[in-house]
A and B are shown apart, each in its own frame.
Chain A
Amino acid sequence: MSTLYERLGGADAVNAAVDIFYRKMLADDRVNYFFDNTDMDRQIAKQKSFLTMVFGGPNNYTGKDMREGHKHLIKRGLNDTHVDIVIEHLGSTLKELGVPDEDIS
């Protein structure tokens, strides 16, 4: 069974996915204020690394675990509603890239 990473088309597909996904996040007033002081290039690099892992690519994601990495944002009001929005944008990004529904879930 091939990984979603391979089925998507590897590194190039992840690069495309991160741009689309991050653009959706920055355009959404419900979540974009969390990125106000974020360096765009660094954020995109981190998301590439993370999504490569999520898709089952050849990744050794060594970033902080999600809870630890977002502690400073929880203080600023980050909650489950925001996480749902992230998942919504990730899902519609994958749909745009032609990923079948069963892979998205």
Chain B
Amino acid sequence: MAVVSYQKSKVVLQDNESVLQGLERLGEKIPSSCRSGACQCCLMRAVAGAVPAKSQEGLKETLKSQHYFLACQCVPTEDLAVTLPADDAVPVYPAQVISKKQLNEEITSIRLSCPAGFRCRPGQYIQVMQDSHIRSYSVASLPIEDGFLELHVRKIPGGSMSTWFHETCQPGMQCSFRGPFGSCFYVPDADRQFPILLVGTGSGLAPLEGIARDALQQEHEGPVVLIHGSLRESGLYHGNELTALQSANKAFSYRTSVVESGETESADIRQFAKSELTRLGAAGARIFLCGAPDLVNDLKVRLFLAGAASSHIHCDPFIINAAST
């Protein structure tokens, strides 16, 4: 019989007993609602052992690849160690600032050394800790191939962390971070043919650039279209890098959307993203949206209405462990 470890408890499951039922028998309080694999309230993560495929049905690919599963559907055949998303122990790593470069008037690129043992997927985010402050930044680089973590830090007037990065921070300085977090990253399919659409504004480019490069690195064969939006031309950055990436990869297209340009086709990023999605074929496309929350939410609904599957739209960090109200 499979043994399930959770925090300090261990339970030997009975015949056909789910992880949820087993833990509840011990008196553990695990959030749950429908108990039939639909509502996803009982989302847990396996830190050791393999979960049956049935317990991952309906989860986003990004969650499956991080060993998340639904406790109510999980009748394991081997021993498991499990956690709730909220209790996941997140290690803290030391890092050194390797370099710093102004990308435009608002945004600075910070490269941190990649600490031994740290693993993350491009597009996930880390929380940098400096004095008593903690702020989240997306990883724009490929940590393994590049050998560093690149963050795009937008200067927020009066913001303590961004001011530290922009003004005080110098190469050679130390900081620490914890992570990784987030489920906005590339997951290959069996065929790698599906189209990918990435849309973001401002420093929302950071995760998108990481995800696009990751997909190309993993030899994704379908079209990958990245749209970077800004109010004015000067708000764009990494244009040379992305144009070079486009020249080197037939699958990749770099597009910009600048409000002040007045371009009929591209100035309205919402319309532009929708027409690109239609051109790519909405039904099978994977979509990544990053940047200003209002725009991200608006795009999410629009692209869903244009035919994208809800399970294939990745944007905000998932917050689904709390029981829905």
Contacts and interface: CB of A to CB of B under 8 A. Distances in A.
Given A42-B324, A49-B34, A62-B34, A23 B305 contact: yes
Interface in B256-307: 297, 300-301, 304-305, 307
A48 B304 contact: no
A60 B39 CA distance: 10
Given A26-B304, A40-B300, A58 B36 contact: yes
A101 B320 CA distance: 36
A41 interface: yes
Q: Looking at chain A's contact residues, is the secondary structure mostly helix, strand, loop, or mixed?
A: helix
Given A40-B304, A40-B310, A48 B57 contact: no
B304 A45 contact: no
B305 to A, nearest CB: 6
Given A45-B324, A46-B324, A60 B301 contact: no
B239 interface: no
B38 A14 contact: yes
Q: How large is the interface on B (under 10, 10 to 19, 20 to 34, 35 or more residues)?
A: 20 to 34
A26 B34 CA distance: 24
Interface in A4-24: 11-12, 14-15, 18-19, 22-23
B30 to A, nearest CB: 14
A52 B34 contact: yes
Interface string A61-73: 1110000000000
Contacts of B309: 19
A18 B300 CA distance: 16
A19 B324 CA distance: 19
B311 A45 contact: no
9 contacts: A14-B38, A23-B307, A26-B304, A40-B310, A41-B310, A49-B38, A62-B34, A62-B35, A63-B33
Interface of B: 33-40, 57-58, 297, 300-301, 304-305, 307, 309-311, 318, 320, 324
Given A11-B38, A14-B38, A48-B38, 4 more contacts: A48-B39, A49-B34, A49-B38, A52-B38
